[in-house]
Structure 1
Amino acid sequence: MSTLHATRETIKLKPYAAEDRAWLVRQHAELYARDEGFDDSFGPLVESILRDFEAAHDPARERGWIAWDGEARLGSIFCVDGGAREGESLAKLRLFLLLPEARGRGLGQRLLETCMGFARDVGYARMTLWTHESHHAACALYAKNGFSLVSSVPVTSFGVPLVEQHWERAI
């Protein structure tokens, strides 16, 4: 089934597997280069994050999901341990990605709900994430789901000037 006709019923969220790594690295590198002008340092960072996840994640408290429509991957989201602050355990949302053809049909909301629900179910008290101000749709989704903007800092990363943002919410 084409992703243009995918529905909530046809899209499956499957656990991340090492076989997904090359696809996820390529999609991040290509999309961020095309849409944000990122240099070639971004792909290796994503690969490093994924390799670390594969080698050392705690499956009881950390998980990644890949959205599939048949044999086609459409996106990803990860929940990892973000440490603790002021006695509260933090979940960190990472590697949230939707292919352009999968956007605007509720899949981002579904991925976010899955990630937050998992974090809540395994006992995290708060969820935190890092993004860029230029990701307008993602930032609107975070705000709609109760995240608050904690900080916004101009930086140069991946070869381009950006505004890094830190968002957080109780779960």
Structure 2
Amino acid sequence: MDGVEIRRFTATDRDWLVAQHRDHYARAEGFDETFGVLVAQIIDDFIADHDSSREAGWIAWDGDQRLGCIFCVKLDGETAKLRLFLLTKGARGKGLGRRLLATCVDFARAQGYRRMKLWTHESHRAAGALYAKTGWTLTSSEPVVSFGQSLVEQHWEIGL
């Protein structure tokens, strides 16, 4: 992953990002169409009204190919939220996830946030392992039905 660049998200990345999330989670976990709708709404809201001084998204590129994404958004004055963290299948297991996560956390810290939170599902085991290895704490876990599936929702947090 030596030649991979991590660039800021732009509106031209929107359709790729929505399609990657929608298609990956439909295929891997059987998520229904409501997941793609949620991702599209999150991105559209970000494009329309984000605070560029405290919020950002990044896309990992290898030449002209996108490999992954991650976002830092404001939850409140002291808390950032990690969102939309995803790597394409071919980019997994090569350290790129750790690089994207560090980019996001370092940004949040530099913007003066005191902590960062995220929401995920227990089935995302590789991501959970990465969070645990990098100092995040699992703060809650509960069974839910979301996106047409029975899942275990997780909330993680890290002090900055």
TM-score over 0.5 for the pair: yes
SS at match of 1:105: coil
In structure 1, what is the Cα distance between the partners aligned to 2:155 and 2:75? 13
TM-score w.r.t. structure 2 length?
0.99
Residue 30 of structure 1: aligned partner: 23
Distance in 1 between residues matched to 2:34 and 2:12, nearest whole Å: 22
Distance 1:54 1:26 in 2: 16
Residue 62 of structure 2 aligns with which residue? 69
Q: Mapping of 1:54-133 within 5 angstroms?
A: 54-84=47-77, 89-133=78-122
**Matched residues in 2 for 1:67 and 1:169: separation?**
23
Question: Runs of 4+ in structure 1 displaced over 4 angstroms?
Answer: none
Q: How many residues align?
A: 160
Gaps of 5+ in 1: 1-6
* Equivalent position of 1:152 in the other structure: 141
> Partner of 1:3 in structure 2?
none
Give percent identity, aligned residues only. 61
Normalization by structure 1: what TM-score?
Answer: 0.92
For 1:109 and 1:150, how far apart are their aligned partners in 2?
21
Letter in 1 for 2:100: L
CA drift at 1:82:
1.1
Question: Which letter maps to 1:170?
Answer: G
Question: What RMSD over aligned residues (CA atoms) do the two structures have, in Å?
Answer: 0.6
Q: Does 1:50 pair with 2:39? A: no
